[in-house]
Amino acid sequence: MPALTCVDAAVPPPGYAFAWDGALPAPGAFPGDSSTTADGPTADLSSPWSTDLSAKLYRIDGWGAPYFCVNAAGDISVRPHGAATLPHQEIDLMKVVKKASDPKSAGGLGLRLPLLVRFTDVLKHRLESLQQAFDVAIRSNGYGSRYQGVYPVKCNQDRYLVEDIMEFGAPFNFGLEAGSKAELLLAMTCLTRARSEAFLICNGYKDEEYITLALIARSMDLNTVIVLEQEEELDTVVETGERLGVRPVIGLRAKLRTKHSGHFGSTSGEKGKFGLSTSQILSVAQKLQRLEMLDCLQLLHFHIGSQIPSTALLSDGVGEAAHIYCELARLGALMRVIDIGGGLGIDYDGSRSGGSDMSVGYGLDEYANAVVRAVMLACDRKLVDHPIICSESGRALVSHQSVLIFEAVSSTTTKCEPSSSICPNRACLLDELADDAHSDYHNLIAATLRREYETSVLYAEQLKQRCVDHFKDGILGLEHLAAVDVVCDLVAKEFDVADPVKTYHVNLSLFTSIPDFWAIGQLFPIVPIHRLDQRPVVKGILSDLTCDSDGKVDRFIGGQSSLPLHELETGGGAGGYYLGMFLGGAYQEALGGLHNLFGTPSVVRVSQADGPRCFAVTVAVPGASCTDVLRAMQHEPEVMFETLKQRAEECAGGDAVPCALAHAFDTMPYLVFDANGGYSVVSGGDEEGTDGMSSYSDGCSEEWESVRCLSV
């Protein structure tokens, strides 16, 4: 930056000196000063705050409806049955956290955070709502067939979740979709307990083993459809079917011309990753006809792309596919099913906008009606019977059912808070600056006294840079740099042009629990789950535990670069500060990695129940321990423990050290946060020790036994 011309320092009024203490007359309006509103931490502090204002600030009524709201206590409540939830059925998230994290001796489950909470009733309501939307659209339009969906297990392969979908979807013959051999084995096992009409859709690239497995499923009376992603897969299907004596049911994935322009549209269109072109579709049909197997071709599948933004685009794509379906029927294929794939989006930011990857401009009813109308129009024109409509709406089914809860354990500000305790001899240090820096300092104070904001900013930047250069040359010491920083921060605070953004350090790994934010910039609603009856007065960003500069959340829904937060409470009985990440039930668990060897969070499965808490925990699973994550990376925790134990004995560490090591292997890698404001070391039982490592002694045998059992 070019040097500024030195101007004469203004003569300060009585009481001011160039060894400035930060005292200035009350500031007026300055460039960058914004009027206060109720939309953020800069709101008028004299006005009352309410839970309704918090719901508006965090857009909870937008992205959260009809499952999440703010209750009278200022906590997030879950409405497990959607809009039909009665007041006494609402589940307070803070009560769930308390039940999960309290020690067993206090009636809790003794789980560590971060915590993933699954709400089975929300999942049930989502599935039933999707089915109802299609049922209503079919009846109102006079459609001649039915809707029969499948769940694509790639969205979330959790055992209990998939089993719940099978249970809740049984009345509707809801099936499963698999895209790999492991997913196919999972789906086959679950579908053995389902109705025979439920579909098993086999997508993805296939080799002979995959196709053999799918045909075995067909031989077990599972309603299996092998969807061809590539033309050459047909030969393998035919040959394997002849060898096994199983006649396959075949589907085709069409590569449509219709696509959308967002991030998720890259898998659609003529250059999409999957599917057959029109010429390849014709080639497959003709080959099946020559083999006298055209009756095996019964399903057409396509995928416009995830998060389809509008019903106009949806209708366009479904209409194109429906005409292909009709043409295959005209050619003699025994067509029965049109599988519209995924794409049913959810409103991550509450804007109900069709112009963003973070939202969609429709609801379930509008989506279903657009699909039914488009298929019906094409079939009626071609005089083709209406097919069964199948969808693979995984994101829309499972996103709402889980909430990730994590703690903010400390905070730092991007600007140092000026304090008289920092550089108490500031005046002397500033007098020792070199002439050019001293001149910048004088001009900075003069511009500040004249209330010239922009000039003050330029002089502050020039002063800082000049002093850093002098520091690198060995002319100035660390105390001089600190004195200059304090003066510049005082100037910035005096103008009050922007609130400093604080970094809240959270007990979480972004790469493990919210990988889509890092990988593709996907935004999820993140909200404090309590204290929403209080005004948030801090603008914050979130920094995770990993040793990675990308391990932070600095973009939020609504195009915001910071999140309104509350000051962290300190002192005895203050409690922790808990945040929730919502709408993350799809993909995040399967995609999460082990960066810095932070493993999966603890999990509780919650259902609505009668009683004072309104809920029951039906499943509780502790998060991955250090042993778990080490073994996942091919380490041998038992050998590691013996090696460390031997070294401790050689160093006369005593019995406490092996016990502490055993505990370390058995515990989660995340921090253990003491609600009083510090980090604690917790023993193997529910009670904390009182004297460091000796607190481990009672639980040593039990804890190491649990480590050893993990090798089985």
Decide if 84 contacts 378 (C-beta within 8 A): no
Cβ-based burial of 503 (10 A; exposed 0-12, middle 13-18, buried ≥19): middle
CA-wise closest residue to 209 among 175, 237, 177: 237
From the candidates 155, 547, 659, 700, which is the catalytic residue? 547
Neighbours of 240 (CB within 10 A): 22
Quickly tell me which residue has 């140092």 as its tokens. Answer: 416
For residues 61 and 74, the answer to whether their CB atoms sit within 8 Å is no
Tally of CB atoms within 10 A around 197: 12
Question: Cis (ω within 30 of 0) for the bond into 66?
Answer: yes
Q: Taking a C-beta distance cutoff of 8 angstroms, is the pair 30, 448 a contact?
A: no
Clarify whether 547 is annotated catalytic: yes
| ∠ Cα 586 392 589 (to 5°) | 15
What is the amino acid identity at position 456? S
Contact (Cβ atoms closer than 8 angstroms) between residue 67 and residue 89 = no
* Strand 297-301 with 250-253, pairing: parallel
The secondary structure of 233-280 as a DSSP string is HHHHHHHHHHHHT----EEEEB--S---SSGGGGGSSTT-SS-B-HHH
Q: Write the DSSP symbol of residue 425.
A: T
Q: Is 219 left (phi over 0), alpha (psi -120 to 50) or beta?
A: alpha
* CA-to-CA dists, residue 349 to 398, 516, 537, angstroms: 17, 15, 22
User: What CA–CA distance (Å, rounded) separates 312 from 367?
Assistant: 10
Give the bridge partners for 77, in sequence order: 69, 92
Q: How far apart are CA 180 and CA 600, in angstroms?
A: 23
Q: What angle do CA 453, 457, 461 make, to 5 degrees?
A: 170
Extract the tokens encoding 435.
Answer: 């002439």
Q: Determine phi and psi for 699, rounding to 5 degrees.
A: -100, 10
Cβ-count burial 259-271 (b if 16+ within 10 Å, e if not): bbebebbebbbee
Nearest to 347 by CA among 398, 404, 307: 307
Overall residue count recorded for the chain in this entry: 712
Q: Is the dihedral of CA 551, 557, 562, 565 positive or negative?
A: negative
Given a contact cutoff of 8 angstroms between Cβ atoms, the answer to whether 439 and 6 are in contact is: yes
Q: Nearest-CA neighbor of 343 among 257, 250, 281, 262? A: 262
> Which bin fits 597, alpha (ψ -120 to 50), beta or left (φ > 0)?
left
Element (H, E) at 133: helix 120-141
Q: Which residues are catalytic?
A: 547
